[in-house]
Amino acid sequence: MNETPKQPLDRAIPAIDVTDLTMAYREKPVLWDVDFQAPQHQLMAIVGPNGAGKSTLIKSILGILKPAAGRVLVMGHQYRPESQLIGYVPQRGSVDWDFPTNVLDVVMMGRYGHLGWFRQPSKDDRKLAVECLEKVGMVDFMHRQISQLSGGQQQRVFIARAFIQDAPIYLMDEPFAGVDAATEKSIIVLLRELKTRGKTVVCVHHDLQTLKEYFDYVMLLNARAVALGPVDEVLTPENLRRCYGGRAAFLAGIDEARLGRGADNKS
């Protein structure tokens, strides 16, 4: 894994630094002048209502979508996919699980960035893939056709594929969507492991209830950046109301109780 480019290990610079980012699909703006910093070595969540632009933000950081305005820096530099600084876990539903391939092969796809053009995966890549499958507890499934996996298993395969990318930063689009409670717990254990290995993990997340328990840092997003900071500071009823707008009444009723419970769980 010595292909990973040397980066200045300056803890002061944010892993991801987005300034004045505006994104539009045709003339419809999805993100308005968003500022956003992800500090290094944190588990960070991006939350917000449906259509708030969470996936769009992730895709524009990755350079998959071109911003209408604004700047994205990754570890202090203009981001180029070839630098392999970011491991990406797309939404589970964004790929065709009937594709003719098996679990091991999907995990090895995470190595393609390191391999570059034309080179085929080697025995070492295969060994790495098996190791990553062991970490997520899916090694018994390595020869399984991917259409035979449950939702939780699919997600763990995706996490294994993120592990093998061995990037300092991970962007994950709803890693907890559609998985059962047990799988969710096992995934958060894996994400914490990434953090203890010095990685920065940014997840699009949906569940306000588990936010405090799972994440250190949070950004509330609704087309613009509503709030950003440590979970305890950001997750105030006032901020939530500003982020979720019309559903303020509903949230106001429950957030006190929920936030209280989240804090209990953590202690």
Partner 1 sequence: MSPHQIDVLVLASLVSLACALPGVFLVLRKVALMSDAISHAILFGIVIAFFVVKNLNSPLLVFGAAITGVLTVVLTELLINSGKLKKDAAIGLVFPLLFSLGVILLTRYAGDVHLDTQCVLFGEIAFAPFSRLIAGGRDWGPLATWVIAGVLVMNIVFIAAFYKELKLTTFDPGLAAALGFYPAVINYIFMTLISVTAVGAFELVGSILVVALMIAPPAAAYLLTDRLGHMLFVSAGMGVLSAISGYFMAQWLDASIAGSMATMSGVLFFLAFIFAPERGIVARSVVRKYEKWNFASETLAVHLLQAEQAHAEESESVVKHMNEHMLWNDEYTSEAIAQGLKDGLLKRDGNRLSLTKLGREKAKNSLSRD
Residues contributing to the site for partner 1 (CB under 8 A): 26, 59, 62-64, 80-82, 84, 86, 88, 90, 94-96, 99-102, 105-106, 109-110, 112-113, 115, 117-121, 145, 161
Taken in order 237, 241, 243, 248, the sign of the CA dihedral is positive
* Nearest-angstrom CA–CA distance, 9 and 158: 28
Judged by beta carbon, residue 110 or residue 262, the one nearer partner 1 is 110
Least CB distance from residue 84 to partner 1, whole Å? 8
CB atoms within 10 A of CB 191: 20
Least CB distance from residue 256 to partner 1, whole Å? 32
Judged by beta carbon, residue 201 or residue 259, the one nearer partner 1 is 201
Least CB distance from residue 171 to partner 1, whole Å? 8
Judged by beta carbon, residue 147 or residue 247, the one nearer partner 1 is 147
CA dihedral 243, 236, 212, 56 (to 10 degrees): 20
Least CB distance from residue 169 to partner 1, whole Å? 11
For every residue of 154-169, DSSP letters joined together read HHHHHHHHHHHH--SE
Judged by beta carbon, residue 80 or residue 127, the one nearer partner 1 is 80
Least CB distance from residue 61 to partner 1, whole Å? 10
Q: Which amino acid is at 88?
A: Y
Q: Which amino acid is at 37?
A: Q
Question: Do residues 222 and 243 touch, judged by C-beta distance below 8 A?
Answer: yes
Judged by beta carbon, residue 53 or residue 262, the one nearer partner 1 is 53
Distances (CA, A) of 83 to 78, 153, 267: 10, 29, 39
